[in-house]
Amino acid sequence: MHYPTAFLFLILVNGAQAFRICAFNAQRLTLAKVAREQVMDTLVRILARCDIMVLQEVVDSSGSAIPLLLRELNRFDASGPYSTLSSPQLGRSTYVETYVYFYRSHKTQVLSSYVYDDEDDVFAREPFVAQFSLPSDGPGVHGSPRSLGLAVLPSLVLVPLHTTPKAVEKELNALYDVFLKVSQHWQSKDVILLGDFNADCASLTKKRLDKLELRTEPGFHWVIADGEDTTVRASTHCAYDRIVLHGERCRSLLHTAAAFDFPTTFQLTEEEALNISDHYPVEVELKLSQAHNVQPLSLTVLLLLSLLSPQLCPAA
């Protein structure tokens, strides 16, 4: 057995590919803002961590900020290419925001998307829901699980929400109805609700938080815990930004979840970081394992044999 072959098996057997899904309130993201070098640099490095990122509070009216950001991201990150999917501008007045998905198109694909039909106008910015398939069903890369033509999560639905601080409780209760409708619409139990929910501190007391249906109904896993700090300022400690998982399959793939303290990682002062956002991104990492599809035990034995017995590997 050749080492490259063994390596291929290693990918398949331990082929738990990490897949990271993120949400980030990028605080009033405009063209002028992304055009600043330090902002662009940091945003690109934040985006490149994620296989799917939902950017919120994009308020660019020029329509050029996201294409510019995408271009720089694809220049920076060789593991792309990334694609984007933007919602229409959403809001009740002249103040509007856009939700924008950035996703690695060779690792996942968008099957469909729509703006939630908010008949009673509960949401200031209606969820822009999207159905993804993981990994992508597109043409496979040699040795990756995709080349087997199997989707680990054939239907993963993302439901982003940026609540308005004035109506957090109302919007989060309505988010449960959104969950019911979209999971029925796509016949998918694997759903991730995510974004700046403003679900803490003055915007939502712990008592009210615990009464939400998304907390009391079974099956929802708040992977960004109540004690987390998703704010940049040292003077604030609030878990505004959240990720909530639903669905056995989705949950079984959960690896880690956390707020990403980008100022510390990128060695930015608080003041510098606040030029990017007053929020941290939140991230959840899934392990997309295909092991059960390729007889892992026998492959593991083969692999061990090949590694332990160099004489069996004449070509190595």
Ligand X SMILES: *[C@@H]1O[C@H](CO)[C@@H](O)[C@H](O)[C@H]1NC(C)=O
Stretch binding ligand X (CB under 6 A), from 22-30, 78-86, 131-139, 268-276: 268-276
User: Binding-site residue total for ligand X (CB under 6 A)?
Assistant: 4
36 binds ligand X per the rule CB under 6 A = yes
Stretch binding ligand X (CB under 6 A), from 85-93, 227-235, 243-251, 269-277: 269-277
Q: Which member of 118, 169, 272, 278 binds ligand X (CB under 6 A)? A: 272
State yes or no: is 246 an active-site residue.
no
Min separation Cβ 62 and ligand X, Å: 18
Q: Closer CB to ligand X, residue 41 or residue 272?
A: 272
Q: Closer CB to ligand X, residue 121 or residue 271?
A: 271
275 binds ligand X per the rule CB under 6 A = yes
Binding mask of the shown chain, residues 154 to 193, with x at each position contacting ligand X by CB under 6 A? ----------------------------------------
Q: Closer CB to ligand X, residue 167 or residue 268?
A: 268
Q: Which member of 93, 207, 271, 311 binds ligand X (CB under 6 A)? A: 271
Instruction: Give me the catalytic one of 57, 106, 126, 162.
Output: 162
Whole-number Å distance between alpha carbons of 292 and 275:
46
27 binds ligand X per the rule CB under 6 A = no
State yes or no: is 97 an active-site residue.
yes
Q: Closer CB to ligand X, residue 83 or residue 275?
A: 275
Task: List contacts with ligand X (CB under 6 A).
Answer: 36, 271-272, 275
Residues identified as active-site? 97, 162
